[in-house]
Amino acid sequence: MRRRDFIKLSAGLGAAVTLSSPLPARAQAKAVFKAADVQPAGYPTVAATESLGKKLEAATNGRLSIQMYPSAQLGAEKETIEQTQIGAIQFLRVSAGAVGPIVDDINVVNMPFLFKSIAHSEKMMDGPLGQELLDKIGASPNANLIALCWMNSGARSLYNTKHPIKSIDDLKGLKIRVIGNPIFIDMMNSLGGNGIAMGYDQVFSALQTGVIDGAENNPPSYVFSNHYTAAKYYSLTEHLVIPEVLCFSKRAWGSLSADDQNLIKKFAREAQMEERELWKKYEQTAMEKAKAAGCEIVEIADKTPFQNAVKPVWDKYGPKYQDMIKRIQEIA
């Protein structure tokens, strides 16, 4: 079966699971929620969502459970967002980079070199500002998503098939895949590369065939999606710290009782913290695996030239997020 046909079939089946019960009985109906992630089995976001599902199943005596579909089985991020919006998928782990074009307020966390450190981003996620941003997704008429929690995805750095990137000049002219968000395309172009928007599921083959010269992502994505086998040079620019968002279909959410909604929210918050601990171990394992495979890991001693280069991005997008940026930067 072709993947496109499989996705359509999955969408139909998912809608049937969610919407088949009559309205009054829906709150108590047995449901198996579809959960989608582009990352492979064992990845921290996948494992944390599966853990959420086990807790949900235990707490409801099997009435509510999760069927996990990792490795982009139900499509790339854009496709799975669309399926979640119509209720065919219920749980979706998606990058804030992919949410930004739908809910503009979320683009504030997509600004390059916004966070001082991973710890700084975690304080934002865990605090009132983090909840405020999640609520903006839920309130957006464009999204049709309920944002349940944040998840860590570390810092994103550059990798390529051509040569080590030790200075900003080494990036010039390289075709670098970015998430399909205008901020990231402009960012890569400002750095001297050629930003190419592309679905995550296409990156590996594009690296192998030379359609792109490189990409930018965190160490686990670089290693556990096998990109490191094609692109041997990984440079720790750490230009972006983009959180992940675990969402629930707003269409399906409305069919749940308040008690079930609160239960899912509770377990989602626990998943946020579980994923963080899993992430730290997974990131370390990824770096060790890359080094063992002979990848050249390049430390960037002075990131100032990279930070200065993205000033046009801040000039273009920063003013409309000025208040939110100030609040993020003031987080101690």
Q: How far apart are CA 128 and CA 327, in angstroms?
A: 11
Per-residue model confidence (pLDDT) at position 11: 45
Question: Domain spanning 156-241+285-329: which superfamily?
Answer: Bacterial extracellular solute-binding protein, family 7 (3.40.190.170)
- With residue 192 as reference, give the H or E element that holds it: none
Mean pLDDT of 36-63: 97
Per-residue model confidence (pLDDT) at position 5: 47
- With residue 106 as reference, give the H or E element that holds it: none
Better pLDDT: 12 or 137 = 137
CB atoms within 10 A of CB 21: 15
pLDDT tops 60 at residue 10 = no
With tokens 């963080």, the residue in question is 276
Q: Do domains 3-153+243-283 and 156-241+285-329 have the same CATH topology?
A: yes
Low-confidence winner among 6-10, 18-22, 271-275 (lowest mean pLDDT): 18-22
Q: How far apart are CA 296 and CA 292, in angstroms?
A: 10
- With residue 121 as reference, give the H or E element that holds it: helix 118-126
**Residue 301 DSSP one-character state:** S
| Pick from 19, 265, 250: nearest CA to 141 | 250
Mean pLDDT of the chain: 92
pLDDT tops 80 at residue 13 = no
Q: How far apart are CA 305 and CA 282, in angstroms?
A: 30
Q: Is 75 left (phi over 0), alpha (psi -120 to 50) or beta?
A: left
Mean pLDDT of 176-192: 97
66 within 8 A of 35, measured Cβ to Cβ:
yes
Map out the domains of the chain as residue ranges.
Answer: 3-153+243-283, 156-241+285-329
Q: How far apart are CA 275 and CA 291, in angstroms?
A: 24
pLDDT tops 60 at residue 12 = no
Count how many Cα atoms sit within 13 Å of the Cα of residue 24 in the half-sphere of its side chain.
0
Per-residue model confidence (pLDDT) at position 29: 82
Q: How far apart are CA 323 and CA 318, in angstroms?
A: 10
Q: How far apart are CA 160 and CA 36, in angstroms?
A: 28
Per-residue model confidence (pLDDT) at position 295: 98
Better pLDDT: 331 or 27 = 331
Mean pLDDT of 99-125: 97
Q: What long-range pairs does 78-83 form, CB within 8 A, spacing at least 24?
A: 78/180, 78/199, 79/7, 80/36, 80/38, 81/145, 83/7, 83/10, 83/11, 83/14, 83/36
Residue type, 142: N
Q: How far apart are CA 246 and CA 255, in angstroms?
A: 19
Mean pLDDT of 238-260: 97
Q: Into which CATH architecture does domain 3-153+243-283 fall?
A: 3-Layer(aba) Sandwich (3.40)
Question: Cα 290 to the chain's mean position, in Å?
Answer: 22
Per-residue model confidence (pLDDT) at position 28: 67
pLDDT tops 50 at residue 229 = yes
Per-residue model confidence (pLDDT) at position 332: 84
Residue 74, CA distances (Å) to 24, 64, 85, 145, 176 in order = 30, 21, 14, 17, 25
Q: What phi, psi does 244 have (nearest 5°)?
A: -95, 160
Q: How far apart are CA 53 and CA 63, in angstroms?
A: 11
Contacts of 22 (CB under 8 A, 6+ apart): none
Residue 94, SS3?
strand
Mean pLDDT of 19-48: 78
pLDDT-derived band at 18 (thresholds 50, 70, 90) equals: very low
Residue type, 311: K
